[in-house]
Amino acid sequence: MIRLFSDLRRLVPVLFSLFILASCNDDQAEQKPPQKNANTVTATPIAGNSTARAPSNTKFVPLGSGFDFYVLSLSWSPTWCLENDPSGRSQQCAVENSHGFIVHGLWPQNERGYPEFCRTREPDRVPDALGRTLFDIMPSMGLIGHEWRKHGSCSGLSQKDYFAVLRAARERVSIPASLQTVRSQQRTSAADIETRLTTANPGLQANAIAVGCSAGQVEEVRICFTKDLGFRACGEIDRGGCKMKNLSLPATP
């Protein structure tokens, strides 16, 4: 009996030490930081962009699937309006809105070619409540709906996530002051437009951007992004850009 009591006295410190160790492990497990979703990536902070709104409601940029990279197309609105709505009756072309570059679309792209009009469980129609949140950068429900059906449906994302990435891509690009307000028509070149944009956006190289032109006028700019919205080279897009040395840049309203 005396021997049993002595053995128990020796076990008490051991059991107490094991209890303390288990408690510490539980505390460490509770303090472990949460894991990020594997399908999202932290958005890159945008600095010095006077034309883009601060990132709105997305802490993370959803990652698309089924393609290689994105092309952000920015349309020079004054050129489109001269050809399609010279009287300024639409929201895009109204004088009081004074649009310069607007988002034409964010296009999932492959190294060669691109997917379009993909099957998706999402509806074809973009709800007004979602579309109208984009009017500051994409001022047309018709354009928003078309871009979703043709391009967004191939992103592997929901409508909400696709348009969140579209906005984040636009906010990634800083538009220099010389391309924000153009008070009178300018003569320029595709190379000059590219230089202005690459200078304003550190990390954006000439092989990641292409200027589009039509009838001697600047029509749009295409900028290539990785899926997590880093600038990247895109040979096929770059080679297809306008090479004209004498272009018209119509004035903003």
**Amino acid 252: pLDDT:** 95
Q: What is the pLDDT of residue 9?
A: 55
Q: What percent of the chain shows pLDDT beyond 70?
A: 77
Between 10 and 18, name the one with better pLDDT: 10
- Quick check: 126 and 151 in contact, CB under 8 A? no
The CA distance from 21 to 156, in Å, is 47
Residue 4: is its pLDDT beyond 60?
Answer: no
Active site residue 151: yes
- Is pLDDT at 240 greater than 50 in this prediction? yes
Q: Determine the average pLDDT of the residues in 182-190.
A: 96
- Whether 24 shows a pLDDT value over 90: the answer reads no
Q: What Å distances lie between residue 221 and 77, 127, 147, 167, 212, CA to CA?
A: 11, 28, 16, 16, 6
Q: Which two tokens stand for residue 65?
A: 């699937």
Strands (E), 20-88: 40-42, 60-62, 69-76
Of 92 and 54, the one with more pLDDT:
92
CA angle 46, 51, 53 (to 5 degrees): 60
146 carries an active-site annotation? no
**Residues 61 and 169 sit within 8 Å (Cβ to Cβ):** no
Predicted confidence band at 59 (pLDDT cuts at 50, 70, 90)?
low
Token pair listed for 240: 């297809």
β-pairing, 186-188 with 247-249?
A: antiparallel
Give the mean pLDDT of 1-22: 48
* 200-218 residue pLDDT tens: 999 999 999 999 999 999 9
DSSP string, 173-221: PPPPGGGT--SS-EEE-HHHHHHHHHHHSTT--GGGEEEEEETTEEEEE
DSSP conformation class of 231? B
Q: What is the mean pLDDT of the chain?
A: 84
pLDDT tens, position by position, 14-23: 454 544 444 4
- In this prediction, residues 34-44 reach a mean pLDDT of 43
Catalytic residue among 99, 122, 151, 236: 151
Segment holding 106, helix H or strand E: strand 101-109
Q: Above 80 in pLDDT, residue 43?
A: no
Cβ pair 226, 43 in contact under 8 A: no
Give mean pLDDT, residues 127-134: 98
Catalytic residue status for 147: yes
Q: In this structure, are residues 156 and 66 in contact, taking their beta carbons and an 8 Å threshold?
A: yes
Which residue in the list 83, 96, 122, 147 is annotated as catalytic?
A: 147
Tell me what pLDDT residue 44 has: 41
The string of pLDDT tens digits covering residues 139-184 is 999 999 999 999 999 999 999 999 999 999 999 999 999 999 999 9
- Amino acid, res. 226: T
What integer pLDDT is reported at residue 60 of this predicted model? Answer: 82
> What phi and psi values does residue 98 have, to the nearest 5 degrees?
45, 55
Q: What is the pLDDT of residue 13?
A: 52
Active-site residue, from 30, 96, 104, 146 = 104
What whole-number percentage of the chain has pLDDT above 90? 75
Residue 109 CB neighbours (<10 A): 22
- Give the tokens for residue 32: 């472990």
Residue 1's alpha-carbon distances to 5, 6, 11, 86, in angstroms, are: 6, 9, 16, 106
